[in-house]
A and B are shown apart, each in its own frame.
Chain A
Amino acid sequence: MSAPMLTLRRCCQRSALLLVARRQWSSSSAAPASLLSRCLLFFAQRYYDVEMVLSWKSKLERDQLRKKNLYYGYTERFYGPDIATAFYILSLRGGFRFVGQTEWFRTNSKGKFNWDFLNHKDTPVEEVDMSNTIINYTGLSNLERQRHLRTLKLQGCPEVDDWFLAGLHRFQDSLEELDISHCPRITAGGLAALRNLRGLKRLNVSSLPRISTPGLVIILLEEMLPQCQITADGYDFESSEERVETGR
């Protein structure tokens, strides 16, 4: 495939990703949709075939997401769970660091990665950076065997939601740092699930759009996890205080 086609494809994927993210967490107060999507919606309400095409399109997107996040059982059978985890992380364009190593294994902008990680068999993974990837709850099963996982960065992941946070209880003994800032699907109910991570030392919950009362939630989180240092930027605390004043 030529380079322009590749960039076009990646562009479409990223825009599809953003569309998914926007559709999922923004309700009617979102920015107005583009002309194309409004036209499609108009026709979909009047013609069955357009409705079918749109439902196929969304089903295709969901299937792609599911296929990317499948359990890498085949890899695990031949190379062991740690290599399977490493391969999964690299396939999703994330990065990781093995226990005892200092260098990070990452993909470049074209999605290509170095196969040197195959040399480190049976070395568990210590730090994982899956920011801006499409990891979801089923994909978390690929990281399940990592009992030495200390850092997990999930900044800006559109598919990380409350159920994903509830699934992090598997790492309750080892996890020390968690970064879930800018994830558009996390709500206060999911943050309550972080109570299982008793060993957590650093937590980043900046700019979570679906938290309506960030000040209160941050205080409750600090009470719930006393040993943890919580970073919460990107919230407009002053304007919410003003609203309280005028409401009285």
Chain B
Amino acid sequence: MCAWRRLHGSVRTLRGSLLRGCLSSTAATRRQPGRCGGLTLCQRLSTGGALRNDFFKDLEDQLAAMRKKAADALPGSSWMPFEINPNLPPETADIVIVGGGVVGWSIAYWLKQKERLPRGMRVLVVERDPSYSRASTVLSVGGIRQQFSLPENIYLSLASADFMRNINEHLSVMNEDPVDLQFNHSGYLFLASEEVAHIMEENYNTQRLAGAKVSLLSPQRVKENFPWINTEGVALASYGLENEGWFDPWSLLNAFRRKAISLGAIQCFGEVTDFKYTTHIRTTADEEQLETRRIKSVKVQMPNSMEYQPVECAIVVNAAGAYSGKLAEMLGIGRGPQDSIYGLPVPVEPRKRYVYVVHCPDGPGLDCPLLIDYSGVYFRREGLGGNYISGISPEEAEEPDTSNLEVDHQFFEDKVWPKLAHRVPAFEKLKVTSAWAGFYDYNTFDQNGIIGIHPLISNMYFATGFSGHGLQHSPAVGRAVAELILDGGFKTLNLKRMSFSRIFAQEPMLEQNIV
């Protein structure tokens, strides 16, 4: 044994001396006695001096480099002689969805879900904000309700709630965690004053007819069920029993994104800055010239860079949320003469809304619904520690500036707190712990979504303008747009009334809400 070790040791030292030609080290190693001082040999081994030597490490590295070069040389590798940016989108795609919020990813998921051939369609989702710090989806309060006055909105919410109930059937990916939306089933409570109580009753009938589980409460019942409410001025209240509450928008967005990417959708972070389109001039029956455009390619600019990639596409979906109007302007919509259809812009613009997080130790408990007062103020419970989220829609004349997401704290003191304290006396003692602002994709025409093709652009589909209801309608809207694109028409929900024709005919489809 000792003899073997001695031999091994001498071979190693010889090799070391051969490679490094360092006499001093060989002299040192030869100086060690070659007896069964195997222990001293081992000790020198463990201090790591010459023995686990660089030769083997270098050899391993060089062998690995050679293996990599060989693998790159073989066909099927992705080696290129020049560096290209891996974040660029592909050069061609079938459908480009502009906007990577919850509506955009919902459309991508449903398109991939409904394609009949696996990986038969290339769907590209372009989002300009990689951190989602300014996206409306993640800044949303996250509520879902069926208490609308338009049947289309009620059906959209019901279908979305059904989707969320079975979300793991739809959006689970194998070997990944199941989707957890953290849904709080606390319902919405709308309070109405004397003047608008009849509108609330009409809405209640529409909602029940459409299948929503809503109940009307008198002020006495409200006081019994929620003793912390001050029912002064309340004539009627409408309370959602089921399928209403709030959830985490980021989980829903990520669930859609993860499933769409697992089905083959491609994500790209970049900004759409330009379109290339062809113009087609036709003569109508009234001898007028109608000019329609067809998008040929989309120019996607990389973030913080001059690099861009033109993506040739067949269909473009505008799910850009608050910036849909600006995107449509790039195609010339709204820049024509004012009294013709070319002069009518897409009426979607960003509107800033503030959300304040307050802490009140004596506030309502687990049964706190999302309470919306007839004065417009709303609040809901956040977590279990006595925190609440509150806000109000400002008046038309006092809309805040939309160039940034700065929060106006004076707005809370002037507009929100008095009404909040009036409705819930416990909120007289509260402390604002945090606040944020987000943009609504506000439809200035009638504050309801626009779903459908624009008449002047043959291949651009719009799914925007939801004015604060985009998140709660997103699963159903995604399905509707996928049906429009792939099946040519709506199959499950008839949303024909939400198309552009109401804007061109100047017939607004307003919500008869009490707020």
Q: B174: which of A25, A55, A190 is its contact (CB, 8 Å)? A: A55
Determine the residue in chain A with the shortest Cβ distance to B224.
A198
The interface on chain B, measured as residues whose beta carbon lies within 8 A of the other chain's beta carbons, has a size of 22
Q: A54: which of B169, B174, B178, B186 is its contact (CB, 8 Å)? A: B174
Determine the residue in chain B with the shortest Cβ distance to A216.
B384
Given contacts A54-B174, A55-B174, A169-B242, contact A188 B384 (CB under 8 A): yes
Asked if A190 and B185 make an inter-chain contact with CB atoms under 8 angstroms apart, the answer reads yes
Asked if A220 and B242 make an inter-chain contact with CB atoms under 8 angstroms apart, the answer reads no
Chain A residues in 8 Å Cβ range of B367: 192, 195, 224
Asked if B184 and A169 make an inter-chain contact with CB atoms under 8 angstroms apart, the answer reads no
Chain B residues in 8 Å Cβ range of A195: 186, 225, 366-367
B245 in the interface, Cβ–Cβ < 8 Å?
A: yes
- Segment at the B interface, from A78-86, A105-113, A158-166: A158-166
Majority SS at the chain B contact face: loop
Chain A residues in 8 Å Cβ range of B93: none
A213 in the interface, Cβ–Cβ < 8 Å?
A: yes
A217 in the interface, Cβ–Cβ < 8 Å?
A: yes
Given contacts A166-B242, A189-B184, A192-B186, contact A223 B174 (CB under 8 A): no
A187 in the interface, Cβ–Cβ < 8 Å?
A: yes
The interface on chain A, measured as residues whose beta carbon lies within 8 A of the other chain's beta carbons, has a size of 36
Asked if A192 and B185 make an inter-chain contact with CB atoms under 8 angstroms apart, the answer reads yes
Give complex CA distance A30, B365 in Å: 32
B182 in the interface, Cβ–Cβ < 8 Å?
A: yes
Asked if A191 and B366 make an inter-chain contact with CB atoms under 8 angstroms apart, the answer reads yes
Chain B proximity of A185: nearest CB distance (Å): 10
Asked if A220 and B366 make an inter-chain contact with CB atoms under 8 angstroms apart, the answer reads yes
B175 in the interface, Cβ–Cβ < 8 Å?
A: yes
Give complex CA distance A47, B367 in Å: 49
In the complex, per-residue mask of A43-65: 1 if CB is within 8 Å of any chain B CB, else 0? 01100000100110000001000
Chain B residues in 8 Å Cβ range of A92: none
13 additional A-B pairs beyond A41-B175, A192-B186, beta carbons within 8 Å, are: A24-B178, A44-B175, A62-B169, A163-B183, A163-B185, A169-B241, A189-B245, A193-B185, A195-B366, A196-B241, A223-B365, A224-B365, A224-B367
Give 26 CB contacts A-B under 8 Å: A23-B178, A41-B174, A54-B174, A55-B174, A62-B169, A137-B165, A162-B185, A163-B183, A163-B185, A165-B185, A187-B182, A189-B184, A191-B366, A192-B245, A192-B366, A193-B186, A195-B186, A195-B225, A195-B366, A196-B241, A198-B225, A216-B384, A220-B366, A224-B365, A224-B366, A224-B367
